[in-house]
Homo-oligomer: A and B are copies of this chain.
Amino acid sequence: MPESPDPRASQGAPGPSPASAGAPAEDPLAFQDPAYREAVVDLLGAIAYGEISAFERLVEDGKLAPDLQDKVAIEAMAAAEFGHVRPLLDRLTALGADPYAAMAPFRSAIDSFHEHTAPSDWYEGLVKAFVGDNLADDFYREIAAYLDTDTRDLVLASLEDSGHSAFVVDRVRAAIAADHRLGGRLALWGRRLMGEALTQAQRVAAERDALSALLAGGVDRPGLDLAAIGRMFTRLTERHAERMAELGLDS
């Protein structure tokens, strides 16, 4: 077994990580490119506001819980989500950015996503928490592969599931078993979540040049060509389908 003195090495990033080869953790080289720094500030701002927003929605969902036990379970998911916010804001500050200004450009798209996908009952809330949050996480994990090591570690840490997903899977499967019509409704709901997420992601990509440029790469940083972007979306869609299946739902 090879030695692994750096604890971060064992975490690993999914997929290739071309950026890290040229920009080790201690090397601020990547940040000498103002476009790269701008992209990272955008990315961390988007993730942070996404976490804040998800936190609020999960607490909102808690009010729909059928009993106190389920309420506490969903609120624990929410509190765990909020625990990721502070390190992101601290990193933004360390990068010389105002963390609140960094989040601001993403409020509209993320708020719109939530307005257009307000759960009408407890189960829609559960599916949204599971499918929506994981979809966003998968997307950020894909992007993380193109970041310097430090930023990538921070992003991956902020996406860690606190092991609450099993609760959602359990509750949704039990409810579908008891009422098959619910399964049909929730399957449609899952498709709507995916569609709305793509709509808002596209909006962000169109508005935030630096973030889009990150995926396109730079002189010293390999990026994604159109074929690679296509493969990325295929992976995202496949994982979404796997999660829907895990819930017992057609995607």
Interface residues, chain A, with chain B CB atoms under 8 Å away: 49, 52, 55-56, 59, 62-63, 67-69, 71-72, 75-76, 78-79, 82-83, 85-86, 89, 100, 103-104, 107
Contacts and interface: CB of A to CB of B under 8 A. Distances in A.
Contact of A103 (B62, B68, B89, B103): B68
B56 A62 contact: yes
B55 A59 contact: yes
Nearest to A83: B79
A72 B59 contact: no
Contact of A104 (B49, B68, B78): B68
Nearest to A63: B56
A74 B67 CA distance: 26
Given A59-B59, A100-B67, A52 B72 contact: yes
Contacts of A86: 76
Given A52-B72, A59-B78, 4 more contacts: A56-B62, A69-B100, A78-B82, A79-B83
A107 to B, nearest CB: 8
Contact of A52 (B67, B75, B82, B107): B75
Nearest to A103: B68
Given A56-B62, A59-B55, A59-B59, A82 B71 contact: no
Given A62-B56, A63-B56, A75 B82 contact: yes
Nearest to A89: B72
A85 B69 CA distance: 12
20 contacts: A49-B68, A52-B72, A52-B75, A55-B79, A56-B59, A56-B75, A59-B59, A67-B100, A68-B103, A69-B100, A72-B85, A72-B89, A75-B82, A76-B82, A76-B85, A76-B86, A78-B82, A79-B79, A79-B82, A79-B83
A52 B78 CA distance: 12
